[in-house]
Structure 1
């Protein structure tokens, strides 16, 4: 009886806390802005700190490393602790690390501060989808995801422009100082609007061991992707070092929640699609500037303006995607976005010297519209498919899929382009490979969409089965799933 009473209490808990959704949108905006704004400032950082170019790139990679390596252990930890406390301390830590980055006297200090930023950023990125999922009812979850996704795209769009103005006027340290007042605002919002969900406990020894294996594998993969440039694709084999580390991690008890989630087809499909679209997006952001500057002889300012077409297309369709997902179902809208994205990539296949920047821009807009239609519904489907006891792990899994895909995209583009002689033909092959990757990511989504149309109750069965695995080591009162029947 107690369990049943607890379930009813959860279902009557406050819903549609749009202030929380807005705060998560601000956090995603800052994260997206931070990524794009730092890239613009790298030349100034290199000159100011007298650092080699090869070392300077670790200002970006140092942030990504903990963001990817620590996501899964952090997600597991979030399943058992108070979300509000974690959000407050993560925002505070991110602000302090940002302040330290701006005060950096040497490149080593800056890279270390960026790694600490990534440490707290891993918790924030895993928490954001969890807090969105638990702050609104299922009927408006797609719209909430759409708002946050749109703000993220706006961060990508405004980053280069804001970064250029800041670096030119007050100096590169201020790109990090900007995070401090924003994080203070997030802390105040959490104190007022985010309810407590438990107690705050430090990660256990098992989480530290798990993080070590995942960090080792991530470092191997990132070094392989970083070094496999030019005519040295053989460095990609360095990534094989990650294989035994991941196999050991798979045998750890700490990997059980992740493997539990991956037994659910309704979770595997969104994660596969998310990774595929992230690879395609990373490839586009990397290879299209080379197409514009090297093949089409476009000026650098015009190249920057042309590249805005992709995130603008995504931002324009983000709110509509959330509305369509709530009305017609997230899987249907996800598939529509994948079709539009693939169409945009295929439209880029004939790229050649006869094109203008405008020819590239409208095709990028189509591809960006596909991303806009895809992101929010796919996140809604992924988080709704998770057992409530594993929401933190699910949020971390989506972060790994996204960040890993973004890191892999440029490496795929460089490898395909390099093997083809760095000509226009190689760029066309890269777009073809991206199209194939997106189609492969769409297949699991299409399969699950068709199966669930034929058996509407099947999703609930899978979610409850996954939740029961997790419940073996948890109190009975957490036996609640995330209303995935509403999909």
Structure 2
């Protein structure tokens, strides 16, 4: 649900703009209102989850997400819509963090690779199917039903959670320190996202905005709550999967951003054919992702993830030529190669990060991996657009953008090579400063 709502809204923007009588600039805030809390609140949410009971956190976050979805669908004007999307994004940040935590504590260690692969495949499919499902719902029932659909799903998930998870105590509400931490990270996120949105334009004004984020991050670093996050990411066997995830997501999203422009602008392919060609990536990812989880549990998670990064890199290198005579099929099989690699990488890499994290910091690790994923989703298109603009938005610029994507994929491979050093260890497990996560 959380990933689907992040992408389905893009298809609904023209209809929302018309129904609410607003311009494109205001309409874009329906997207930003959801995306900003996802980035700003992910890390604070993870620290909150370190001391929260799993069932309590699940019921609270799902209930809030479902209620916010109703408010979005009922929005009579753009101010209401943006506010409701911000609330929805707030609970979405908790959900995206909570899901990796639940998958970790719900299964035995030897089944963690399969659990992570399944969860991440479904999340990716939710994001990639968002535009397709959104288009169908808008045509049949209207754009509010993109969000109303979350309500029955929320009820179902809450019922399963109540039945499967042990009882938890009363929810521990965030304190002032949590609010300060969220505010500083939110301010930095706003500065970075605005800088990325201006990076492809003329001038260097975007650099000033990017620099604005620095003092906010320095102030956050001085907070006591930042210490567990910093200590966790200093451990090589935890930092390496994070770096690999950030690089791989940036690479994939950069390539997937450019390819539709190539197919429709250079190859003169119809939008329907473009969509079918793009489906090759998630289809291959789903097929290999299930096998990757089994291999990670029975063989070695790092090696499976490395094979995935190599395969993604090969797939992107094959796309670089982008010949003028290519059709949908020429792109589809190359996307399938990259998608197969992404499926081999996602679950095992997440399992590595969670396995090497002390139990009392599992919520924090789930948050930081979610943040790395969201940053890659935002950074990939921004970097691709920036490089593409240097080439005059022509075919050569598209090729350079895919070269950059392939280089980022290769960087993810190097990050997992760095993971091999066993001398470094994550911070020692301790319950000081917070309760351990529950173990169903």
- By the TM > 0.5 criterion, same fold? yes
TM-score between the two structures when normalised by the length of structure 2: 0.96
Distance 2:368 2:276 in 1: 33
Match in the other structure for 1:415 = 386
Is the Cα–Cα contact under 8 Å of residues 270 and 382 in structure 1 kept in the other structure? yes
* CA apart distance, 1:441: 2.5
Match in the other structure for 2:20 = 49
Per-residue CA distance 1:199-228 (angstroms, 9 max, x = gap)? 521112111111111000000011112233
* CA apart distance, 1:446: 0.9
Counterparts of 1:1-16 in structure 2, within 5 Å, are none
Q: Aligned pair 1:287/2:258, yes or no?
A: yes
Q: Aligned pair 1:162/2:133, yes or no?
A: yes
Distance 1:305 1:253, change over 3 A: same
Alignment size in residue pairs: 439
Distance 2:233 2:29 in 1: 32
**Which one of 376, 395, 399 corresponds to residue 405 of structure 1?**
376
Distance 1:236 1:196, change over 3 A: farther
Instruction: Name which of structure 1's ranges 226-235 and 138-147 shifts more when overlaid on structure 2.
Output: 226-235
**Which one of 377, 380, 390 corresponds to residue 348 of structure 2?**
377
Distance 1:473 1:145, change over 3 A: closer
**Which one of 92, 105, 125 corresponds to residue 96 of structure 2?**
125
Counterparts of 1:66-465 in structure 2, within 5 Å, are 66-196=37-167, 199-231=170-202, 234-449=205-420, 451-452=421-422, 458=423, 462-463=425-426
Is the Cα–Cα contact under 8 Å of residues 40 and 185 in structure 2 kept in the other structure? yes
Match in the other structure for 2:428 = 467
Is the Cα–Cα contact under 8 Å of residues 71 and 126 in structure 1 kept in the other structure? yes
Is the Cα–Cα contact under 8 Å of residues 42 and 367 in structure 2 kept in the other structure? yes
Match in the other structure for 2:32 = 61
Is the Cα–Cα contact under 8 Å of residues 313 and 409 in structure 2 kept in the other structure? yes
Instruction: Name which of structure 1's ranges 309-318 and 198-207 shifts more when overlaid on structure 2.
Output: 198-207
Classify the secondary structure of the residue corresponding to 1:333: helix
Distance 1:308 1:430 in 2: 21
* CA apart distance, 1:159: 2.5
Instruction: Name which of structure 1's ranges 434-443 and 176-185 shifts more when overlaid on structure 2.
Output: 434-443
Distance 2:235 2:152 in 1: 40
Distance 1:417 1:233, change over 3 A: farther
Match in the other structure for 1:12 = none
Is the Cα–Cα contact under 8 Å of residues 277 and 438 in structure 1 kept in the other structure? yes
Distance 1:365 1:77, change over 3 A: same
Is the Cα–Cα contact under 8 Å of residues 388 and 467 in structure 1 kept in the other structure? no
Distance 1:315 1:56 in 2: 33
Per-residue CA distance 1:4-23 (angstroms, 9 max, x = gap)? xxxxxxxxxxxxxxxxxxxx
* CA apart distance, 1:197: 5.5
Distance 2:10 2:438 in 1: 40
Classify the secondary structure of the residue corresponding to 1:467: coil
Is the Cα–Cα contact under 8 Å of residues 45 and 172 in structure 1 kept in the other structure? yes
Is the Cα–Cα contact under 8 Å of residues 157 and 312 in structure 1 kept in the other structure? no
Per-residue CA distance 1:91-117 (angstroms, 9 max, x = gap)? 001001000000011122111111100
* CA apart distance, 1:198: 5.3
Q: Point out where structure 1 has 5 or more consecutive residues left out of the alignment.
A: 1-29, 453-457, 483-487
* CA apart distance, 1:231: 3.7
* CA apart distance, 1:334: 0.7
* CA apart distance, 1:287: 1.0
Distance 1:378 1:410 in 2: 23
Q: Point out where structure 2 has 5 or more consecutive residues left out of the alignment.
A: none
Alpha-carbon RMSD: 1.8
